Amino acid sequence: MDLLWRTPLATLQLRHHLVSTVGALMGVSVAVLLMFMEEGFQKALYRSAVRMHRILAGDLIIAERSFASITIASGLPRRFAYRAASVPGVAAITLLYSDTPLLRNPQTGSARPIMLYGIDPLKPAINPRGAASNLTLLALPGRALFDRLSRASFGPVVERVKSGEAEVQLSPDGNPDAPVIRVIGLFDLGPTITFDGTVLVSDLTFHTLIGRPLDRPTFGVLTLAPGAELRKVKTAVQGRLGAGAKVMTKAELINLEIRFWDRETPIGHILKLGLFIGFSVGLVFVYQVLQSIISNNLPEYAVLKTVGYPDYFFVVVLFQMATVIGTIAFIPGLVTAQLLYAMAERTTGLDMSLRFVDAALIFAIVLAMCTVSAMLAARRLRGADPISLFS
Amino acid sequence: MEAPIRLVTARELSYRYGTAETGRSVLNNIALDIRAGEVVLLTGPSGSGKTTLLTLIGSLRQPQQGTLQVLGVDLLTASPAQLRQLRQNIRFVYQRHNLLHSLTVLQNVTACLPNTPTSGRVANRQRAIEMLGHLGLIAKIHEKPERLSGGQQQRVAVARALVSSPALLLADEPTASLDSEAGQRVARAMSDVGRQLGCAVLISTHDERIFHFADRRLHIEDGVIAERSIRGP
């Protein structure tokens, strides 16, 4: 069948209907871009939501039994953590406290929510990049480390830390009379979709600032003894704690957090809806051009049927046309997305880097979109009836 | 001398549209024979059943009553595989040329040739060029159909139909939308090349200007067929 490969009818027909084809290419490019942006924001949301989880300095994490996300965690009774420490295979345990108080911009006085973590400075539950040299200094009361990658909404905190005179006010309600704490250093973590930045303090300073007793940490972070088997120890710890707490590996915790953002929050649904809209828009554009080409060539297809071209030949031609449109339109969509990702990353501080696997996923979705379009358009081929050619 | 082979034989062939009670009978006890190398015209008023007969012979419709043998295949009892095989030896020319505008003239013609071990791509291309040469289109082989006149387009359609050397060529009003000169050239092309190839040509037409290209004329009216002179109406 020369018309499939050597003299490809699909590309020749697309070239012949150039105006419709260019229209479809533009439409599908926009749809591809839309899908890339939704995918990019979704991945940025997930990556930012688990940044802290990835740097937890342990192997197993204990959380309250109904734990779903750090943003809504209510705290684990501390006795569970100590009980876990006695399980064979557990070498050490440390605690992590978290809350979302307001930080006042030292320049404007406006208060914005920030992620606050409290750690034991001698056994830190998290160890973000750049923090190591200052962690022990957090043991001094009223001292804090500030995330260098925080958004600018908190004012010139980073600049003031560099010049050695940064003081900020942190309190649960943005109280202007809240005690002042001194920012003694910086670390690198990055903001999330919901929080513009992060502050790290000692557990005692955490207690002073938030006023919450230290008997309900967010996580107990367990380090395993050398040679201990992760699964076995996890089962043993879960057995010791019963149904009162949830024991997770780091990977399970990350999956749980992503699942929360994906399924339990409006933004997760909105981003998925956006992906679906992009798919639908692209599908309509591809279908339109296929439908137009079929309508203009029904008698010619009928002639080919009379000389022995089987029905599947026309379906293959449709798939080829759809795939050519999808593949060509993918390229400008990809390039534009790269540019917009870079802009969005600069503006939001979120990790919008495009990974090969994400681009491959979008390409697979585009191919699926083209397949569905071709299948829908193929129904019109029934009109290519040789008898209709007679006067 | 041996008589030419009968390629189409119909006896007591009847066909009706719709049900027995409310339908309309278009062919009644038709009998006809068409032999290899013959050019036969099928004339008659509109709605007389010419197209129905053409599509029955072309195996595009299933006969309802009587017998119809085409190239030795009984169409009343033929299996789908037999019909597929049969259609490889039948080609059509229509009132419209129905050429693919995205292909060149040559590509339109070669598209209707199968690539088999005995007829490769290069051989097919050569054959298509020769056929287009026979039809006076050698200078147009790389043109797109839209750059050709109506008569030229129809001759390309004839070339497309004849290039595979079919045993039977069925044409439905092939000159109806052409001027006199173009119509004559198309009719001459079909009759000359058809005879050279030993192909039986059956042309359904109202166009008296092409009668003289035929060997015989069959007139069909009120579902009944009769032999008529090729010199008059």
Give the 3-state secondary structure of residue A323.
helix
**Nearest-CB residue to A299 (from B87, B98, B103):** B98
Task: Bin A366: left if φ > 0, else alpha if -120 < ψ < 50, else beta.
Answer: alpha
Which residues are CB-neighbours of B5 under 8 A, at least 6 positions away? B35, B36
Q: Are A40 and A344 in contact (CB under 8 A)?
A: yes
Helix axes A18-49, A250-259, angle to 10 degrees: 130
Q: How far is B52 from chain A (nearest CA, A)?
A: 9
Indicate yes or no: CB of A7 within 8 angstroms of CB of B103: yes
Indicate yes or no: CB of B172 within 8 angstroms of CB of A15: no
Is the CB of residue A19 less than 8 Å away from at least one CB of chain B?
Answer: no
Chain B 106-165, residues with CB within 8 Å of chain A CB atoms: 107, 110-112, 114-115, 121, 164
Indicate yes or no: CB of A297 within 8 angstroms of CB of B96: no
Q: DSSP for B113-177?
A: S--BTTB-HHHHHHHHHHHHHHTT-GGGTTS-GGGS-HHHHHHHHHHHHHTT--SEEEEESTTTT
Indicate yes or no: CB of B172 within 8 angstroms of CB of A391: yes
- In chain A, which residues have their Cβ closer than 8 Å to the Cβ of B94? 299, 303, 389-391
Question: How high is the pLDDT of residue A1?
Answer: 61
The residue in chain B having the minimum alpha-carbon distance to the alpha carbon of residue A385 is B60
pLDDT per residue as tens digits for the range A30-49: 999 999 999 999 999 999 99
How many residues in chain A?
391
pLDDT per residue as tens digits for the range B64-109: 999 999 999 999 999 989 998 899 899 999 989 899 999 999 999 9
The residue in chain B having the minimum alpha-carbon distance to the alpha carbon of residue A4 is B111
Is the CB of residue A12 less than 8 Å away from at least one CB of chain B?
Answer: yes
What tokens were used for B208?
Answer: 């008296």
What tokens were used for A318?
Answer: 């449709």
Residue A4 CB: number of other CB atoms within 10 A? 13
Tell me the domains of chain B and their CATH numbers. Answer: 6-228 (3.40.50.300)
The residue in chain B having the minimum alpha-carbon distance to the alpha carbon of residue A10 is B102
**Nearest-CB residue to A386 (from B60, B103, B114):** B60
Which is it for strands A111-113 and A102-104: parallel, antiparallel or unpaired?
A: antiparallel
Which of the 8 DSSP states describes residue A194? S
**Parts of chain B with a pLDDT under 50:** none
User: How much is the pTM?
Assistant: 0.81
Residue of A1, A2, A16, A388 to mutate for B, most B C-beta atoms under 10 A: A2
Q: Are A277 and A34 in contact (CB under 8 A)?
A: yes
Is the CB of residue B89 less than 8 Å away from at least one CB of chain A?
Answer: no
Mean pLDDT over A111-117 rounds to 94
- Please choose, from the candidates A14, A88, A7, A3, the residue with its C-alpha nearest in 3D space to the C-alpha of residue A286: A14
- In chain A, which residues have their Cβ closer than 8 Å to the Cβ of B121? 2, 6
Give the 3-state secondary structure of residue A220.
strand
Question: How high is the pLDDT of residue B118?
Answer: 55
Question: How high is the pLDDT of residue A239?
Answer: 95
Beta bridge partners of A220: A62, A95
Is the CB of residue B94 less than 8 Å away from at least one CB of chain A?
Answer: yes
Question: How high is the pLDDT of residue A55?
Answer: 94
Q: Are A146 and A158 in contact (CB under 8 A)?
A: yes
pLDDT per residue as tens digits for the range A189-227: 999 988 999 999 999 999 999 988 899 999 999 999 999
Question: How high is the pLDDT of residue B2?
Answer: 61
What tokens were used for B168?
Answer: 């039977």
Beta-strand ranges (E) seen in A60-216 are 60-64, 90-99, 102-104, 111-113, 115-119, 143-147, 166-171, 180-187, 198-202
d(CA B201, CA B162): 10
Q: In 3-state terms, chain A is what percent helix, strand and coil (to 5)? A: 55, 15, 25
What tokens were used for A21?
Answer: 């084809």
Is the CB of residue A312 less than 8 Å away from at least one CB of chain B?
Answer: no
- Please choose, from the candidates A274, A281, A267, A277, the residue with its C-alpha nearest in 3D space to the C-alpha of residue A350: A267
The Cα angle at residue B25 between residues B24 and B31, in degrees rounded to 5: 165
- In chain B, which residues have their Cβ closer than 8 Å to the Cβ of A15? 102
Burial A175-203 (b: 16+ CB within 10 A, else e): eeebeebbbbbbbebbbbbebbbbbbbbb
Residue for token pair 């560099």: A162
- In chain A, which residues have their Cβ closer than 8 Å to the Cβ of B167? none
Question: How high is the pLDDT of residue B117?
Answer: 55
Residue for token pair 């925080």: A150
Is the CB of residue B91 less than 8 Å away from at least one CB of chain A?
Answer: yes
**Nearest-CB residue to A308 (from B54, B87, B173):** B87
d(CA B93, CA B171): 4
Mean pLDDT over A239-256 rounds to 95
Mean pLDDT over A54-82 rounds to 93
Beta bridge partners of B221: B224
Is the CB of residue B93 less than 8 Å away from at least one CB of chain A?
Answer: no
d(CA B170, CA B174): 10
Under the banding of pLDDT at 50, 70 and 90, the label for residue A26 is very high
d(CA A193, CA A366): 27
- In chain A, which residues have their Cβ closer than 8 Å to the Cβ of B85? none
**Nearest-CB residue to B98 (from A16, A17, A300):** A300
Q: How far is A295 from chain B (nearest CA, A)?
A: 13
What tokens were used for A163?
Answer: 């010049």
How many residues in chain B?
233
Q: How far is B11 from chain A (nearest CA, A)?
A: 23
